């Protein structure tokens, strides 16, 4: 599998959860990469493990914890704060990007 380095921007709320190691997914309106692609955030490398098209309702109901939230309601609030004009629209289609940290101790990238 070919690995590409992709850029995925994260706001401060997400960066804090990445630093704590509690965020393992990010939902976006556009697709940022494919499984196997790598990205760098908060001084660490991550690798995309799965990317799929889902509704915001599915993210809220099934993957809120992977998003780094403490509850489904928090996911809804965070999404609405990032997208104030449209807000949280349950049937809106988004891309959820699942990822894992890449152990880089002693590895040159």
Question: What is the C-alpha to C-alpha distance for residues 17 and 23, in angstroms, rounded to an integer?
Answer: 5
Q: What is the DSSP string of 63-95?
A: STTTTT-SSHHHHHHHHHHHSTTT---TT-EEE
Question: pTM above the 0.85 mark?
Answer: yes
> Helix, strand, or coil here: 102?
coil
pLDDT, average across residues 3-22: 96
DSSP 3-68: --B------HHHHHHHHHT---EEEESS----TT-EEEETTEEEEEEEEEEEEHHHHHHHSTTTTT
User: Domain 12-101, what architecture?
Assistant: Roll (3.10)
Tell me the pLDDT tens digit for each residue of 47-82: 999 999 999 999 999 999 999 999 999 999 999 999
Q: Give the number of C-alpha atoms closer than 13 A to the C-alpha of residue 65, restricted to the C-beta side.
A: 1
Q: Where exactly are the structural domains of the chain? A: 12-101
């Amino acid at each position: 599998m070919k690995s590409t380095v992709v850029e995925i921007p994260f706001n401060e709320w997400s960066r804090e959860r990445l630093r704590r190691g509690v965020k393992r997914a990010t939902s976006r309106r556009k697709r940022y990469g494919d499984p196997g692609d790598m990205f760098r955030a908060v001084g660490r490398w991550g690798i995309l493990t799965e990317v799929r098209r889902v509704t915001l309702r599915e993210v809220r109901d099934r993957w809120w914890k992977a998003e780094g939230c403490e509850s489904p309601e928090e996911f809804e609030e965070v999404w609405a704060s990032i997208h104030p004009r449209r807000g949280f629209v349950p049937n809106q289609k988004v891309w959820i990007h699942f990822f894992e940290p890449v152990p880089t101790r002693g590895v040159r990238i």
